[in-house]
Amino acid sequence: MQRSSVWSVASASRRSSILIIYTGGTIGMRIDQQTGALVPFDFGGIYEEFPALKYLSVDIDVHTMPKLIDSSNMQPSDWVAMAEVIRSNYERYDGFVVLHGTDTMSYSASALSFMLENLAKPVVFTGSQIPIGRLRTDGRENLITAIEIAGARRADGEPMVPEVSLLFHSCLYRGNRTHKMSAEELDAFSSPNFPALAEVGVKISYNEPLISSAKGVAEPLRVATMMNEGVAIIKLFPGIGEYTLRAILAVEGLRGVVLETYGAGNAPTSEWFLRLMRETVERGVVVMNVTQCDNGSVEMQLYETGLRLQAAGVLSGYDMTTEAAITKLMYVLGQNLTLEESVELMKMPIRGEFTLSALV
């Protein structure tokens, strides 16, 4: 660890200690000089590689996960492993930066937002589109900015962003509001229904009223380690067949479904479809309605096509992303709760994952 007396983090009077949790992804790739192939970068040598980090008012340690993965291989067991690293280092550090592949980063950030109960410290996810070992990498800026945000404090010394967030390009978003929207652009993430928590320009401008406060967190951190994998995402399309849908919904152990519907939460009103939905709900499967649209909220009261779905017992996912809805289902159904308790939790925003004003 290296020290510097240079002050650069907004409103911090003492140095922050940050743990970087490196999970893999493009951000960690550099070119092997001998073979020319992309190989994982050793973040242990972070100060030698990025001397500029010395000018941030933070002390940095790095925890490299035992197996570095392309995030397409991410599994709920990896989320548990990440959450455990945060739990076991929670008292020692002021904030955490998770270096993660971009492909499933929104799923992981959403999952961790639910799994880390009573979180009162920053957990900032970031990654890159171009490997850190390439000249034009976006990883360097993303990494440095994420570290700065994880270490930033408010005027009263409280952490600036004590929640699970995702920093990419020039925006910091609430993690469970994000979606990877581009396979090519450097500005690869969106937060379709919630404003950015901070905008990164010459300065980092925090949107403080939108950011969770650590003040109301009275209980110690608790990590939920059971994620129920008996869940499915079903995207409707004109022509979706009864046998196909029936086969998916008949899967043994199915406990929750995210149904991606049209527009404001609309679905076909054919007899077979609604009967199948009703039967599924009556079997004790929690069915959440989210929209296929890029933004906006489910409002099942708006059209008959939504009302019929509501009458069949399908729950509104309001303006939740699919990523937040599926990981929240895994988290809620992983707790030892009754069906009624699970349904109640799904109907409430528990980590700011949907907008209360959209409730009617």
Which of 108, 22, 11 is CA-nearest to residue 60? 22
Interaction of residue 70 with ligand ASN, rule CB under 6 A: yes
Interaction of residue 126 with ligand ASN, rule CB under 6 A: no
172/206 Cα distance (integer angstroms): 9
Distance of closest approach, residue 130 Cβ to ligand ASN, in angstroms? 8
Position of minimal CB gap to ligand ASN: 101
Q: Contacts with ligand ASN: how many residues (CB under 6 A)?
A: 10
In contact, 11 and 154? CB cutoff 8 Å: yes
Among 16, 57, 102, 126, binds ligand ASN (CB under 6 A): 102
Distance of closest approach, residue 204 Cβ to ligand ASN, in angstroms? 23
In contact, 254 and 281? CB cutoff 8 Å: no
Among 76, 95, 122, 127, binds ligand ASN (CB under 6 A): 127
Interaction of residue 103 with ligand ASN, rule CB under 6 A: yes
Q: Which lies closer to ligand ASN via its Cβ, residue 25 or residue 151?
A: 25
Q: Which lies closer to ligand ASN via its Cβ, residue 117 or residue 141?
A: 141
Distance of closest approach, residue 136 Cβ to ligand ASN, in angstroms? 14
Torsion, Cα of 335, 340, 341, 342 (10° steps): 50
| Helical axes 105-115 vs 322-334, angle rounded to 10° | 40
In contact, 96 and 18? CB cutoff 8 Å: yes
Distance of closest approach, residue 103 Cβ to ligand ASN, in angstroms? 3
| Residue 322 one-letter amino acid | T
Binding window for ligand ASN (CB under 6 A); candidates: 41-49, 96-104, 189-197, 314-322: 96-104
**First-to-final CA distance of the chain:** 52
Question: Which residue has 């004003």 as its token pair?
Answer: 357
Catalytic residue among 26, 178, 261, 321: 26
Interaction of residue 25 with ligand ASN, rule CB under 6 A: yes
Among 16, 129, 191, 291, binds ligand ASN (CB under 6 A): 129
Q: How many residues make up the chain in this entry?
A: 360
Could you tell me which residues are beta bridge partners of residue 316? 289
Interaction of residue 341 with ligand ASN, rule CB under 6 A: no
Among 9, 22, 95, 101, binds ligand ASN (CB under 6 A): 101
Burial (Cβ within 10 Å: 0-12, 13-18, ≥19) of residue 236: middle
Among 72, 336, 338, 357, binds ligand ASN (CB under 6 A): 72
Which of 78, 26, 44 is CA-nearest to residue 227? 78
- Establish whether 26 is a catalytic residue: yes
153/9 Cα distance (integer angstroms): 8
Q: Which lies closer to ligand ASN via its Cβ, residue 74 or residue 314?
A: 74
Residues that bind ligand ASN (CB under 6 A): 25-26, 70-72, 101-103, 127, 129
Active site residues: 26
